[in-house]
Copies of this chain bind each other. A is one copy, B any other.
């Protein structure tokens, strides 16, 4: 492969040709560019979810891959359009509106530049301001992937400390037989619930596969879930539709039902107000 892959994530949904016009813009820049979908079903305008999904996928692609992430409620207003160069060598092309939160904390941003619209915007689109996915982000990503511009030519650098970040969570509390953390995201499709507690710390606290663990989930001060749950390697160790604690795909502690939706059954969401305590 001569050029890095361009990966695309949006909240544009599956029922229209918007994403395909973005790919066409790349193809027009250089017909050998390859574009691949991440997902286009991010909950509309939910930059937190986009940030979390980026974090799941970035580490699995080769260095130099270009990720285009367009969840852009502020399109055409004053928010910055940027390209971030990550410390792992990947690039993210995105509105600077919170979508960089997870990679900022977990991978690190080496340098960030604001896209210079005077040179890196699709000509002939000056009279519309609502589809920067096509006119700005795909166009700039395509030029970068095809080596028509260098990273420096994206536009002026600005301080990494100015990146727009979502509020994040307190570090989890790890004691013997007692761990506290937050629910940081929920996978809509299967209803799995992700915490910010690492498998390593969970084991260090004394929990082992096969243990039944007390789990208390609270929203603000309300108790939402309070049961003894099996901790094991995978879903299939629980009975059908019974809960299970396991080490998730990012090596963080997760909760699920075996072949059911934990999030839906118990009405669980993610955020600072969603806390979870595990005790023996």
**B-contacting residues of A (Cβ < 8 Å)?**
1, 5, 7, 9, 12-18, 20-21, 23-25, 27-28, 31-32, 35-42, 44-45, 53-54, 56-57, 60-62, 65, 73-77, 127-131, 134, 187-190, 199-200, 233-237, 246-251, 254, 258-259
A-B contact pairs, 17 of them (CB 8 A): A15-B41, A16-B53, A16-B56, A16-B188, A20-B57, A21-B56, A24-B62, A27-B65, A28-B61, A28-B62, A31-B62, A44-B189, A60-B134, A128-B248, A128-B249, A131-B248, A134-B249
| A56 and B17 contact, CB distance less than 8 A | yes
**Chain B residues whose C-beta falls within 8 Å of the C-beta of A134 in the assembled complex:** 60, 249
| Cα A199 to Cα B237 with chains together (Å) | 45
**Chain B residues whose C-beta falls within 8 Å of the C-beta of A1 in the assembled complex:** 31-32
| Cα A188 to Cα B53 with chains together (Å) | 24
| B60 and A25 contact, CB distance less than 8 A | yes
Of the candidates B13, B129, B251, B254, the one whose C-beta lies within 8 Å of that of A127 is: B251
Please name the residue on chain B nearest to A138 by beta carbon.
Answer: B60
**Chain B residues whose C-beta falls within 8 Å of the C-beta of A61 in the assembled complex:** 24, 27-28
| Cα A234 to Cα B95 with chains together (Å) | 15
**Chain B residues whose C-beta falls within 8 Å of the C-beta of A250 in the assembled complex:** 128
| Cα A17 to Cα B28 with chains together (Å) | 26
**Chain B residues whose C-beta falls within 8 Å of the C-beta of A246 in the assembled complex:** 76, 128-130
Please name the residue on chain B nearest to A199 by beta carbon.
Answer: B127
| Cα A7 to Cα B23 with chains together (Å) | 11
| A15 and B42 contact, CB distance less than 8 A | yes
| A15 and B60 contact, CB distance less than 8 A | no
| A53 and B17 contact, CB distance less than 8 A | yes
Q: Give, as a whole number of angstroms, the nearest-CB distance from A236 to chain B.
A: 4
| A41 and B62 contact, CB distance less than 8 A | no
